[in-house]
């Protein structure tokens, strides 16, 4: 069976829910996060001390938590050294359920405590995020558009009035508690059945995108998804179509949006209507709200990193720019694909669309879904957007810096 037929992801005839994200005064900054006000760690470097209360196993778990940040963002957790004034003390505490920590950088000693019964990777990652100014997604002030709360629940999680919600609401966020519970409510997108830590015990794509923006990460972490309705001149200058134009002469830019099923997937930006045209299972959606456009500040080649299109067989998962994924069966991840599509009338046209990758499978799906024609078409020949780092260039830079310093 071809991968396409193996797919279990059901067909949905749908429409794009039009959700206005209440983003208040911060609409120019995108990304799915709920940001606490407070001081951030300079250059994303967080110094830590391991408390005596941590066992060897806790240290291993902490290391995995660091490594999740280190792979997906430019945040660096580094051991405390003699001269460091500001640091986090990582502790296990018998008196705490879940965890307890201080928000953002407080200056001097600050604690991050895990409850004795909650020594799990997900909690460690979540706890570290507190110190980076991340607040819970299900406490966003605009969360009522996305979550209904159980009528017979006694305690309803409060909204964080001071935190700033940004970008597309993310049910998969590491800072979203398990859904369909009293703790964090029932998703209003009925197709979203699991949330937050149930999805995976690591940063979601939108979490990582948000952190990379918040801490101005560079290299292959420097692409930014910007809200379509408030693109600045600078954003527009940072949009790339990789030299690919549609037959009508318009450049082809990638966008992403949440579709009616709650999935966040890639499509083609329509500049005149600021919408994102998405094809999924041979149905076409036009998302007009909640649309984000891909920008790459600094150009395609910068700091020894290069964003480029690669043939589907050459693109590796490590390098491919992930968009997000399928709503409830989280094994399906979504990526950006460009293709020249065979139109039904015999001609062809270029477009950008979505390609899935299923966990456990080698390589991308057999075909990418392109928002062209009336319902969209599948393309078996396509290129995937990737970013790779040039190690020779990085070594040269290191060498140059050393020489300059000596």
Ligand X SMILES: *[C@@H]1O[C@H](CO)[C@@H](O)[C@H](O)[C@H]1NC(C)=O
Binding to ligand X, residues 339-358 (CB under 6 A): 339-342
Contact between 118 and ligand X by CB under 6 A: the answer reads: no
Listed ranges 39-47, 80-88, 195-203, 376-384: which one lies at the site for ligand X (CB under 6 A):
376-384
Shortest spacing between CB 203 and ligand X, in angstroms: 25
Rounded-to-integer distance, Cα 253 and Cα 250, Å:
9
Rounded-to-integer distance, Cα 194 and Cα 365, Å:
24
Shortest spacing between CB 329 and ligand X, in angstroms: 8
Shortest spacing between CB 193 and ligand X, in angstroms: 8
Sign of CA dihedral 98, 100, 103, 109: negative
Per-residue contact string for residues 83-102; x = within reach of ligand X by CB under 6 A: ----------xxx-------
Rounded-to-integer distance, Cα 111 and Cα 123, Å:
15
Q: What is the 3-state secondary structure (H, E, C) of 147-160?
A: EECCCCCCCCCCCC
Q: Which of 1, 10, 83, 405 touches ligand X (CB under 6 A)? A: 10
Q: What are 388's strand-pairing partners?
A: 306
By CB atoms closer than 10 A (0-12, 13-18, 19+), residue 169 is buried
Binding to ligand X, residues 286-325 (CB under 6 A): none
Binding to ligand X, residues 136-195 (CB under 6 A): 190-191
* Locus of tokens 């997937």: 265
Shortest spacing between CB 379 and ligand X, in angstroms: 4
Listed ranges 121-129, 292-300, 330-338, 379-387: which one lies at the site for ligand X (CB under 6 A):
379-387
Contact between 13 and ligand X by CB under 6 A: the answer reads: no
> Strands 383-389, 377-379: parallel, antiparallel or unpaired by DSSP?
unpaired
Task: Pick the closest to residue 254 from 303, 309, 215, 301 (CA basis).
Answer: 309
Q: What are 90's strand-pairing partners?
A: 50, 112
Shortest spacing between CB 365 and ligand X, in angstroms: 13
Whether 218 and 74 have beta carbons less than 8 Å apart is answered as: yes
> Closest CB to ligand X among 212 and 261?
261
> Closest CB to ligand X among 246 and 393?
246
> Closest CB to ligand X among 197 and 263?
263
Q: Which spans of this chain sit near ligand X (rule: CB under 6 A)?
A: 10, 12, 93-95, 190-191, 261, 339-342, 379-381
């Amino acid at each position: 069976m071809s991968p396409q037929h193996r797919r279990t992801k059901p067909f949905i005839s749908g429409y794009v829910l039009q959700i206005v994200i209440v983003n208040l005064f911060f609409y120019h900054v995108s990304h799915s996060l709920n940001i606490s006000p407070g001081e951030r760690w300079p250059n994303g470097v967080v110094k830590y001390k391991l408390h005596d209360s941590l066992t060897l196993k806790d240290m291993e778990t902490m290391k995995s938590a660091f490594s999740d940040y280190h792979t997906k963002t430019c945040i660096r957790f580094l051991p405390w050294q003699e001269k460091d004034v500001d640091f986090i003390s990582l502790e296990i505490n018998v008196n705490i359920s879940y965890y307890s920590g201080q928000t953002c950088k407080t200056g001097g000693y600050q604690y991050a405590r895990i409850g004795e019964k909650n020594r799990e990777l997900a909690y460690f990652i979540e706890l570290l995020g507190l110190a980076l100014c991340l607040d819970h997604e299900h406490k966003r002030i605009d969360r009522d558009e996305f979550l209904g709360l159980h009528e017979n629940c006694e305690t309803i999680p409060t909204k964080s009035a001071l935190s700033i919600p940004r970008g597309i609401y993310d049910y998969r966020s590491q800072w979203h508690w398990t859904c369909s519970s009293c703790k964090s409510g029932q998703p209003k997108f009925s197709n979203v059945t699991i949330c937050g830590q149930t999805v995976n015990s690591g940063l979601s794509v939108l979490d990582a995108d948000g952190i990379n923006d918040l801490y101005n990460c560079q290299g292959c972490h420097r692409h930014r998804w910007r809200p379509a309705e408030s693109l600045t001149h600078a954003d527009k200058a940072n949009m790339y179509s990789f030299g690919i134009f549609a037959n009508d002469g318009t450049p082809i830019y990638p966008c992403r949006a949440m579709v009616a099923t709650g999935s966040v997937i890639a499509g083609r930006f329509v500049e005149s209507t600021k919408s994102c045209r998405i094809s999924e299972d041979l149905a076409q959606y036009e998302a007009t709200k909640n649309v984000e456009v891909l920008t790459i500040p600094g150009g395609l080649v910068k700091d020894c990193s290069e964003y480029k299109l690669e043939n589907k067989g050459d693109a590796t998962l490590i390098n491919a720019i992930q968009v997000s994924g399928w709503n409830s069966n989280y094994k399906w991840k979504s990526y950006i694909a460009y293709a020249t599509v065979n139109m039904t009338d015999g001609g062809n046209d270029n477009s950008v669309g979505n390609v899935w990758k299923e966990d456990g499978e080698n390589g991308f799906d057999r075909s990418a879904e392109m928002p062209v024609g009336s319902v969209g078409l599948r393309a078996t020949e396509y290129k995937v957007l990737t970013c790779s780092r040039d190690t020779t260039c990085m070594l040269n830079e290191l060498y140059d810096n050393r020489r300059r310093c000596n």
